[in-house]
Structure 1
Amino acid sequence: MTEEDRFTKSIFDNALKVIRDPAAFFRQMPREGGFGAPVIFLAAMVFLGLIVNLIGAALIIRPHNIGGGLIMLIAAPVIMVLLSFVSAAVLFLIWRIIGSKQSYETAYRCMAYSCGILPVTSAISFIPFAGVVLSTLWGAYLIISASIHVHGIKPAKAWAVWGIIAVIFIGINLSAEMGSRYAARNMVRQRLEMQKLQDNAVKEMQKAKKEMYK
């Protein structure tokens, strides 16, 4: 097996470990070793998650609306890698506040490897409302596992802090989804009304023509 094959295999192995047994994964996760491996893992999970989104969109949305998704397939991993350093900084700050002594690099590793669920949550996201709840709760559970097994936070404190944050995020995401669905319904209704007006206008013009030639 080549070095590249071993590295690729380790990406999928780590993703499966995060999904199947996050507590064991975080207990065994190296606390340091550079940003290279977690960054590449994160980019790979974002890429796979986007592929799942594109497949789902192709089944639900008309194909000509997916062109932007193909562009994002290239751009999103780069954007997400850049944003991941900010996300890790936020997590690092919260962990420090609740008692962690671990470094920023360790916080980044916890955040990056928690993204091992992205391909699955991308599929779950197509379930109306429940998808948001399940994805957020699963992500919170991974962060709680990292808090306990990497950062040494007491379970009760970890569940309380991240549980509250998860509830807040669920509320925000559900409100956003409700708003987007309401806007989508309004757009469909307006499109139907416009089509009806156009049809009526055509009928009136045809009627006027007939009256002229009588």
Structure 2
Amino acid sequence: MDQAQNQQAGLKQNVLETLRFIQQVLLDPASQFRHMPRQGGFIEPLISIATIGLLAGVLRILVTFYYMSQGASVSLFTALFAIVTTPLTVVIFCYIGAFLLSIIMRYLGTDSSLEVAFRVTGYLAVISPIAVIAATIPYLGNLLILGLLTYLLVMAAIEVYQLNSNTAWMVFGIAFAILAVLSISAESHSPSRSEQFAPAAVEIDAPALEQPAAHH
């Protein structure tokens, strides 16, 4: 009994610490990036990223349940499996993002350490829970996510990589503009969120249902 209570208390503490970390990065990113540890290995940021991804996964399940309540054709297994796929996706994106960020910083002539870049993406992962909710808003949602990501990247470039503010805004501002155009273009040619989750319609041939008249 005591062990179960301790585990529950530990889980609650981890959730509260994760929420506090997300709040701190979003409200004061400059200070958080300025004091970000640059060494210590990959395990610590990996655990942080996975925890944030887990929180995003829970939100993803809730969002999917909402669409299911509106008649969406989604299996319960698919909805619940987001608790696995979402954290995994966040971790993979952070690794890919760290690799790309290290290349960009090498090109700009600053620290190209993959570990530092991975720690930066660990901070950027805080937008994952927000992205789950924002993605439900057509057009504006993706722009909000990209805008927030761009702002955090600029703060990281200035505070972690010591880039000039103008250079940081130019580099990531151009990236934001390109991604925004691609996002709007892709979304304009894809089904709406409601259509994606809409249950498949079953067309019934009315004449086939007509019963032949009885002959007396």
The TM-score bracket by the shorter chain reads: 0.7 to 0.9
Are the counterparts in 1 of residues 139 and 184 from structure 2 also a CA contact under 8 Å?
yes
- Please report how far the alpha carbon of residue 87 of structure 1 lies from its aligned counterpart in structure 2 after TM superposition: 2.2
Match of 2:116 in 1: 106
Please show how residues 5-20 of structure 1 align to structure 2 within 5 Å. Answer: 9-20=16-27
- In the superposition, the TM-score normalised over structure 2's length comes to 0.81
Bigger proportion of residues as helix: 1
Which sections of structure 2, spanning at least 5 residues, go unmatched?
A: 1-5
Asked if 1:38 corresponds to 2:48, the answer is no
Are the counterparts in 1 of residues 57 and 87 from structure 2 also a CA contact under 8 Å?
no
* Counterparts in 2 of 1:187 and 1:34: CA distance versus 1, 3 Å: closer
Please show how residues 178-189 of structure 1 align to structure 2 within 5 Å. Answer: 178-181=188-191
Match of 2:66 in 1: 59
Please show how residues 68-147 of structure 1 align to structure 2 within 5 Å. Answer: 68-147=78-157
Match of 1:213 in 2: 215
* Counterparts in 2 of 1:10 and 1:177: CA distance versus 1, 3 Å: same
- For residues 24-81 of structure 1, the C-alpha deviation after alignment (integer angstroms, 9 at most, x for no partner) is 1101111111111211111111111122122122112347615313223123323542
Instruction: Report sequence identity in percent.
Output: 25
Asked if 1:28 corresponds to 2:30, the answer is no
Amino acid at match of 1:32: Q
Q: CA RMSD in A?
A: 3.0
Are the counterparts in 2 of residues 47 and 73 from structure 1 also a CA contact under 8 Å?
yes
Are the counterparts in 2 of residues 42 and 112 from structure 1 also a CA contact under 8 Å?
yes
State the structure with more CA Rg.
Answer: 1
- Please report how far the alpha carbon of residue 200 of structure 1 lies from its aligned counterpart in structure 2 after TM superposition: 2.2
Are the counterparts in 1 of residues 65 and 79 from structure 2 also a CA contact under 8 Å?
no
- In the superposition, the TM-score normalised over structure 1's length comes to 0.82
**Residues paired across the two proteins, number:** 205
- Please report how far the alpha carbon of residue 201 of structure 1 lies from its aligned counterpart in structure 2 after TM superposition: 2.8
- Please report how far the alpha carbon of residue 100 of structure 1 lies from its aligned counterpart in structure 2 after TM superposition: 1.7
Deviates more, 1:124-133 or 1:66-75: 66-75
- In 1: Cα distance, 2:92 partner to 2:196 partner: 35
- In 2: Cα distance, 1:184 partner to 1:166 partner: 27
- In 2: Cα distance, 1:200 partner to 1:100 partner: 70
